[in-house]
Amino acid sequence: MLYIIGLGLGDERDITLRGLEAVKKCSKVFIEAYTSLLSFGLSSNGLSTLENLYGKPITLADREMVEEKADDILSDARHSDVGFLVVGDPFGATTHSDLVVRAKKLGVDVKVVHNASVMNAIGICGLQLYRYGETISIPFFTETWRPDSFYEKIQRNRVLGLHTLCLLDIRVKEPSLESLCRGKKQYEPPRYMTINTAIEQLLEVEQMRGESAFCEDTDCVGFARLGSEDQMIVAGSMRQLLKVDFGAPLHCLVIVGKTHPVEEEMLDFYKLKGESAESKHNQTA
Q: Are residues 8 and 144 in the same domain?
A: no
- Res. 81: pLDDT tops 80: yes
Give the domain CATH number at 28.
Answer: 3.40.1010.10
Number of domains composing the chain: 2
pLDDT class of 53 with cuts at 50, 70, 90: confident
Predicted confidence at residue 285, as pLDDT, reads 42
Q: Are residues 44 and 158 in the same domain?
A: no
pLDDT class of 52 with cuts at 50, 70, 90: confident
Predicted confidence at residue 40, as pLDDT, reads 47
Of 141 and 181, the structure prediction assigns the larger pLDDT to 141
Name the residue among 232, 241, 231, 234 with its Cα closest to residue 202.
Answer: 241
- Res. 184: pLDDT tops 80: no
Query: SS3 string of 81-104?
Result: CEEEEECECHHHCHHHHHHHHHHH
- Res. 223: pLDDT tops 60: yes
Instruction: Pick the last residue of a domain from 116, 147, 167.
Output: 116
pLDDT class of 49 with cuts at 50, 70, 90: confident
Q: Are residues 70 and 151 in the same domain?
A: no
Q: Are residues 270 and 183 in the same domain?
A: yes
Domain range for 138 is 119-281
Q: What percent of the chain has pLDDT over 90?
A: 62
Q: Are residues 213 and 128 in the same domain?
A: yes
- Res. 279: pLDDT tops 70: no
Mean of the pLDDT values across residues 52-71? 80
Q: Are residues 126 and 262 in the same domain?
A: yes
Q: Are residues 31 and 103 in the same domain?
A: yes
Q: Are residues 65 and 109 in the same domain?
A: yes
Instruction: Pick the last residue of a domain from 90, 116, 142.
Output: 116
pTM: 0.87
Cα–Cα distance, 259 to 236 (Å, whole number): 14
Cα–Cα distance, 3 to 99 (Å, whole number): 11
Answer whether the bond into residue 160 is a cis peptide, omega within 30°.
Answer: no
For the beta sheet containing 164-168, the strands, ordered from the edge strand earlier in sequence to the opposite edge, are 136-138, 164-168, 251-255, 219-224, 232-237
pLDDT class of 207 with cuts at 50, 70, 90: very high
Q: Are residues 166 and 97 in the same domain?
A: no
Q: Are residues 141 and 181 in the same domain?
A: yes
